[in-house]
């Protein structure tokens, strides 16, 4: 994650966005649609109000990722980006486009010397695989990812 440029606000934002995508399994548009009110960092939860298919859900967030996001929220407050702006926005408060995140991830992967394709959806798959490797039940993983169990 050093390639994000941790010392700059943009680098910190990008790093925390990548961490959120990996540690929650959110779709990129879900992450970019979050507002500060949707985060309960002390409880380790994120409310996705308008997930894929228009469904809402709450996903878990581990303490390490919560601490990372807290750092970005601190920077946001210093930049005077109020609660009416998405959590992950430009430094001027404009919403980030998913296409920009895709380009950013490709650029960061190249900077890190990664030859394989790196993309936000791959982080979602990695999140699910990590949960399964930890022994989490498939039904719980499906719920975390916003998948509806079929009868």
Please determine, for residue 7, whether its predicted confidence score (pLDDT) is greater than 90: no
Q: H-helix or E-strand containing 99? A: helix 98-111
Q: Give residue 149's pLDDT.
A: 54
Report percent pLDDT > 70 for the chain: 93
Summarize pLDDT for 77-99 with one digit per residue, the tens: 999 998 899 999 999 999 999 99
Mean residue pLDDT of the chain comes to: 89
Tell me the pTM: 0.87
The 10 Å Cβ neighbour count of residue 39 is: 20
Rg of the chain over all Cα atoms, to the nearest angstrom: 15
Query: Hey, which CATH number is domain 2-145, 1.10.443.10, 3.30.360.10, 2.60.34.10, 1.10.10.10?
Result: 1.10.443.10
Please determine, for residue 27, whether its predicted confidence score (pLDDT) is greater than 70: yes
- Give me the residue label for tokens 């990812």: 145
Beta-carbon contacts of residue 87 (< 8 Å; ≥ 6 apart): 34, 35, 36, 38, 39, 69, 72, 73, 76
Please determine, for residue 151, whether its predicted confidence score (pLDDT) is greater than 50: no
**Distance (Å, whole) CA 6 – CA 13:** 9
Q: Give residue 148's pLDDT.
A: 63
Mean pLDDT on 3-28: 87
Domain ranges of the chain: 2-145
């Amino acid at each position: 994650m050093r390639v994000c440029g941790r010392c700059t606000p943009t680098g910190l934002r990008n790093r925390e966005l990548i961490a959120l995508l990996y540690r929650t399994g959110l779709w990129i548009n879900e992450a970019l649609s979050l507002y500060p009110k949707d985060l309960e960092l002390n409880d380790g939860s994120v409310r996705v109000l308008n997930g894929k298919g228009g469904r809402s859900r709450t996903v878990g967030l581990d303490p390490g990722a919560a601490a990372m996001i807290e750092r970005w929220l601190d920077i946001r407050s210093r930049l005077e980006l109020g609660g009416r702006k998405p959590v992950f926005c430009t430094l001027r408060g404009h919403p980030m486009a998913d296409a920009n995140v895709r380009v950013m991830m490709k650029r960061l992967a190249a900077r890190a010397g990664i030859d394989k394709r790196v993309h936000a959806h791959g982080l979602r798959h990695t999140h699910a695989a990590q949960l399964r490797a930890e022994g989490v039940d498939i039904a719980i993983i499906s719920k975390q990812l916003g998948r509806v169990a079929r009868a």
